[in-house]
Amino acid sequence: MSEAIETIEGWYALHDFRRIDWTRWRGLSETERQAALDAMHSIVSAYQPSSPDAGSFGLYSILGHKADLLFCHFRPDPKTLGEFETMLDKSPLGLVLTRPYSYFSVVELSKYLARGISEDQIHTTLKRRLEPAIPDRPYVCFYPMNKRRQGSDNWYMTTREERRELMKNHGIIGHKYHEDVIQIITGSQGLDDWEWGVTLFANDPLPFKKLIYEMRFDEASARFADFGPFYVGSRLAVQDLAQLLS
């Protein structure tokens, strides 16, 4: 049996994608629309953490047909994420929103990163990575992924040393883009349909393309990675959303 790599978990994450039902929105009265806009202001305000230790939140406008909005949350308590979902669903704004996709996971780091760090120090030394603040960058890219389990390309049947070497080379490519792209990895085995979620942040969407393309040639991706749908969007202020809907 191949040896599993221990992981370190941090905050829980919810990527809550929503689509606006424009036909239904146009059918609302002016009073109903204003109630939805007022509710939206209240909800986004409630989503903002009371302190950096309470979590992180970002609102994004998604490009393309897959979704219109992304409510991106990182929180210490998964119960809070469920409360946020329900708050939006029950609101007047929720009447004109559908949910094409969502992803529930938890921030995850490999214990490779904790070599030389005692168990007592792990969550203090790696706090910034385990409890991430959403970067102040205007673009986001999210995608889920699996490690392949097919024949000789079965990630889970490789040795610990093989996986360490593969991920080392994988990390070398990622480091080339560390100034352009900030990455948050979340694990979802047993929590959602994919095994990991990858959230990238940048000042321009082009580095997303360049990074992902170069990664395709790395053995860890070329042999062992299966990717889900990609969602790309731009940061949205609450007043921008109001303008979009008004």
Separation CA 94–CA 43 (nearest Å): 11
Which of the 8 DSSP states describes residue 217? T
Exposure of 205 in the CB half-sphere (CA atoms within 13 A): 12
pTM, rounded to two decimals:
0.93
| Percent of residues, the chain, with pLDDT higher than 90 | 70
3-state secondary structure 125-184: HCHHHHCCCCCCCCEEEEEEEEECEECCEEHHHCCHHHHHHHHHHHHHHHHHCCCCEEEE
* 173: its two tokens: 């490519």
Active site residue 143: yes
The predicted model gives 56-75 an average pLDDT of 97
Separation CA 63–CA 213 (nearest Å): 20
From the list 103, 139, 143, 231, the catalytic residue is 143
Residue owning tokens 């704004």: 93
The predicted model gives 108-134 an average pLDDT of 80
Residue 179 pLDDT > 80: yes
> Which tens digits make up the pLDDT trace of 181-231?
999 999 999 999 999 999 999 999 999 999 999 999 988 888 999 999 999
Residue 118 pLDDT > 80: no
The confidence band for 152, taking pLDDT boundaries of 50, 70 and 90, is confident
Q: How far is CA 135 from the centre of its chain?
A: 12
Domains detected in the chain:
8-245 (3.30.70.1030)
Residue 155 pLDDT > 70: yes
Residue owning tokens 């749908």: 229
In total, the chain counts a number of residues equal to: 246
Residue 162 pLDDT > 90: no
